[in-house]
Amino acid sequence: MWFMILAGTGWKLPTPDSYGTNYVGKLRKPNNTELKKLEAGNVRFYLINLPDCPPLGLESLRVDDSQIQASSYLRTGLGPHRGRLNMQAGIEDGDLYDGAWCADYKDRHQWLEVDALHLTLFTGVILQGRNSIWSWDWVETYKVQLSNDSVNWETCMNGTEEAIFEGNRDLETPVLGLLPVPTVARFIRINPQTWYSKGTICLRAEILGCRVHDSNDIYSSEQEPGSKDALDFRHHNYKEMRTLMKSVAEKCPDITRIYTIGKSYMGLKLYVMEISDNPGKHELGEPEFRYVAGMHGNEALGRELLLNLMQYLCSEYKKGNQRIVRLITETRIHLLPSMNPDGYEVAYEKGSELAGWAEGRYTFEGIDLNHNFPDLNNIMWDAQEIAADASKVSNHYIPIPEYYTKENATVAPETRAVINWMQDIPFVLSANLHGGELVVTYPFDCTRDWAPQENTPTADDAFFRWLASVYASTHLVMANPDRRICHYEDFQLHNNIINGGAWHTVPGSMNDFSYLHTNCFEVTVELSCDKFPHVSELPIEWENNKESLLVYMEQVHRGIKGVVRDKLTKQGIADAIIKVEDHGHDIRSAADGDYWRLLNPGEYKVVVWAEGYIPSRRQCTVGTEPLPSICDFTLSKTPIQRLKEIRAKGGKVPQDLQLQLRALRLRKLRSNGVTLCSVRSC
């Protein structure tokens, strides 16, 4: 980015050899291609090419409420602390959590002030209107003022005149205003000049600036937060994502495999990275795990975290990190970094601060993938209501309704691809990575009777709460009791976890579909307040989430697992039903007969049956350590099933089977009230 620097501005000009100490300090020296000295008559000026300065962190909350001041404010809920880019308002208008800073007076003397705490090279301001469904308020033009002491202010100049910056023309679109001359200061003020004629002075903002070295700053030696892991911390578009995944596969060919599960509406492939000690094959007894990110294309952090995770698992495996080696050896891991690549490309083009709150959220067709899966909840609940015995209604593997499979159904190709993926692989555990909040939600997401908010637990509510708590309690920001709430809901009241329906109802969610149509338990993780963090925030966000990502994967080994086999052939039995007594949710065995049932520690009575087999029952114990308890089952075929198979092959019925069939007929006659007697006694 090229900036013009005029002589006589009151601060030192850079030379081809160094930067002035009041200018950019710790930034690297420019080379000859980055610094141009120009002269026109008696006027001398420089053009300097500076790196794009990052946001100070109003949106990401790195800037504390105490650093934001204002000339006045309409009420507490519209105070200066609410003047953050993409701040979302609560449903109730006029509460403590409104969607902007709004001045109490409508004049040109109002301002919003930000203290950067350190000398900063300010380069720009991003402005947004007020987030509200009731009011239309935004600033149309503004001035920028700078100060080193918050007492003496200088207005940003455009040549010899005070610079007037273009603001907003609607509520949500972020508008960038670059300073004509990047200026070093500690404080910055946004001074509205005009605003929407039918509204008032309201704004949300982000400030762009690079920190400057200052020998008088007692905190100048503080280490900037980051990560020690050597990962590719940047936002990757579709092409760059493919390149990175390929590079990981080339570094770790023995444990990785890249495959696709389908294409987006615009033809972009949905790539998955598999990480396993035997990639490409389901191993008997080894659970399948998945992470899915990018369902909403503008929620970009999950995408980058999964790309980070691929690199990390590869490098740590090669180093011999025993935790990672054990995880990869005992688990088949699948990472889908971008479920909605079309939406992401739209957001990526705008950039992290300019994409706004919704740009790229939906697919190219305008479909919200978070509501696009079959609503199996109401199918199950409706069947339970009309059934004479609700316990007889199927509580798992609920089939997809016919209307959903029709060609004219509003179903995104991305959704169909993920459903096919779920049906192909016997996933046990999953998490769906989102952004814009700090909370982990668990099923059910859809409420009964379409209530807008209502706690709607599953039969496995206790274990879902455990899963959500595992991620939330190890996330460095969620676990911080002093953290600021993101927008208007304080999830710390619930230990940063919440039932999806208790937050807001989501019919057709992937979490609910996964639970009701497959064996897989799935939660949603809202990773950060900022949906699309600036590239400078990515190392910090990786550290915030690294342990959570790892420990959550390890939960796939809790509960019981085993193999359901045929007693005679010793072969695995597919689709055997595994029922835990007093748990109203069953699962089924995979193609090889192996199964995994996630459970909290305790004693459980487990019954297994399959078509044509006599049910088997046994007691299974789950310990407190994160290791599965082995609970195998051997099933014997029913006499009738054995007879059918022998007759189909034209074989001779063995004597033991003849006796079993005779005993079966006698029991049936007795149950029907028929008196049995011998020839002598009748």
CB of 127 closer than 8 Å to CB of 175: yes
Find, among 580, 586, 488, the residue nearest to 82 by Cα.
Answer: 488
SS3 578: strand
* Beta carbons within 8 Å of 423's beta carbon, 6+ residues apart: 518
Q: Write down the residue that tokens 């092959």 correspond to.
A: 649
| Tokens 């300019």 found at | 354
**Cα-based distances in Å from 337 to 166, 416, 520:** 37, 17, 19
Please confirm, yes or no, whether 526 is among the known catalytic residues. yes
Q: How far apart are CA 361 and CA 367, in angstroms?
A: 9
Question: Helices 301-319 and 538-554: crossing angle, nearest 10°?
Answer: 70
CA-CA-CA-CA torsion sign (66, 67, 72, 75): negative
Q: Is 255 exposed, middle or buried (0-12, 13-18, 19+ CB in 10 A)?
A: buried
How far apart (Å, rounded) are the C-alpha atoms in residues 230 and 226?
11
C-alpha distances in Å from residue 432, one per residue of 167, 406, 479, 622 = 36, 27, 20, 27
- Contact call for residues 396 and 521 (beta carbons, < 8 A): no
Q: Which tokens belong to 159?
A: 């040549």
Is residue 508 within 8 A of residue 374, CB to CB? The reply is yes
Rounded Cα distance, 474 and 604, in Å? 29
CA–CA dist 654, 671 (Å, integer): 26
Strand, helix or coil at 16?
A: coil
Token pair 């609560």 in the structure block, residue: 90
Cβ neighbours for 250, distance < 8 A, ≥ 6 positions apart: none
Neighbours of 379 (CB within 10 A): 17
Tokens of 406: 């029709």
Q: Name the β-bridge partners of 205.
A: 84, 127
For residue 84, what are its two tokens?
């953050």
Cis-peptide into 444, omega within 30 deg: yes
φ/ψ region of 475 (left if φ > 0, alpha if ψ in -120 to 50, else beta) reads beta
380: left (phi over 0), alpha (psi -120 to 50) or beta: alpha
Helix (H) or strand (E) holding 616: strand 616-622
Q: 98 near 82, Cβ under 8 Å?
A: yes
In 3D space, the residue among 592, 587, 545 whose CA is nearest the CA of residue 565 turns out to be: 592
Selecting among 359, 526, 537, 554, the annotated active-site residue is 526
Cβ-count burial 66-86 (b if 16+ within 10 Å, e if not): ebbbbbbbbeebbbbbbbbbb
Which burial class, exposed, middle or buried, applies to 104 when counting CB atoms under 10 A from its CB (0-12, 13-18, 19+)? middle
Tokens of 312: 């990390």
Strand 439-442 relative to strand 497-499, pairing:
parallel
User: Whole-angstrom Cα distance, residue 542 to residue 533?
Assistant: 11
- Report the run of H or E that residue 329 belongs to, with start and end: helix 322-330
Active site residues: 526
